[in-house]
Amino acid sequence: MGPTQELVDAIYRERVLCARRTPIELKLRAGGDLFEEVCQRMADGLRDENPGADEATIQDLLRRRLALVRRLEYPAR
């Protein structure tokens, strides 16, 4: 038997209240940390896909991948 809807709602409500109490500086830092972590994971994937590539090549591929993601998310820009 899974959690009740009341429990799910209470947990969600507590997460929202906690997020509202979090200072903006921490939210901004968390966003930057998350972006860095995602970039690291993407770079790791690129290293797996390109085993002979040097670090400069990986960074170039990562920049291209990020540019592609931006174009896909914001096609009119």
User: How do residues 24-75 score in pLDDT, each as one tens digit?
Assistant: 999 999 999 999 999 999 999 999 999 999 999 999 999 999 999 999 999 8
Residue spans per domain, the chain: 24-77
**Alpha-carbon distance 77 to 74, whole Å?**
6
Q: Residue 77 — pLDDT band, cuts 50, 70, 90? A: low
Instruction: Give residue 69's identity as a one-letter amino acid code.
Output: V
pLDDT at 36: 96
Helices (H), 1-77: 5-21, 24-49, 55-73
- Tell whether the model's pLDDT for residue 12 goes beyond 90: yes
Q: What is the pLDDT of residue 76?
A: 80
Per-residue model confidence (pLDDT) at position 75: 87
Terminal Cα distance for the chain, rounded: 48
